Amino acid sequence: MLLFIALANAPGLAPGNPIQNAAIAAYEGIANFLMNTFVYARAYPVFAIMFGYGLVQLAMRQKVAGASRTATRRILLRRNAALVLFGFFHPPLLYFADFLGAYGLIGIAATLLLLESERAQRILLWAWLLPIV
């Protein structure tokens, strides 16, 4: 997955010049089609799923270890706050198209919402499923 993320971000690092050669432009069209089909449409959703899976696994591991809900919430909030902090400094220093800060904010919201009561979790599930139905 990290290779796909690197591939997805590679065009942002490449120098951009207008293509004058028609044959090269055709190859670029093929490359763009392949990137859209196999990288952009696959890498970002799977990376987001992996992020959510990591949050759930960390929370479950804390639960199995006997940690309280408050302690689990504290660990998840600290982890996601570190992502927000990293995401704040990464774009101006290394690469402008960073998404880790956004993941950190989403992780904070998910932590606050998902570590609530089971009733709150059911309401969230139905609020998510209702538009799909």
Confidence of residue 9 (pLDDT cuts 50, 70, 90): confident
User: Which is more confidently placed, 120 or 36?
Assistant: 36
Residue 107: CB atoms within 10 A of its CB come to 23
Q: In whole angstroms, what is the distance from residue 1 CA to residue 93 CA?
A: 23
Give the pLDDT mean for 28-52. 83
Give the pLDDT mean for 90-112. 83
Confidence of residue 19 (pLDDT cuts 50, 70, 90): low
The reported pLDDT for the residue numbered 15 is 67
Is the predicted pLDDT of residue 81 greater than 90, yes or no?
Answer: yes
Give the pLDDT mean for 102-120. 82
Give the pLDDT mean for 14-38. 77
User: What 3-state class would DSSP assign to 31?
Assistant: helix
Look up residue 29 and give its two tokens.
Answer: 């069209």
C-alpha torsion angle, residues 45, 51, 54, 59 (rounded to 10): -120
The dihedral of CA 77, 117, 59, 63: what is its sign?
Answer: positive
* Per-residue pLDDT tens digits for 85-96: 998 888 788 777
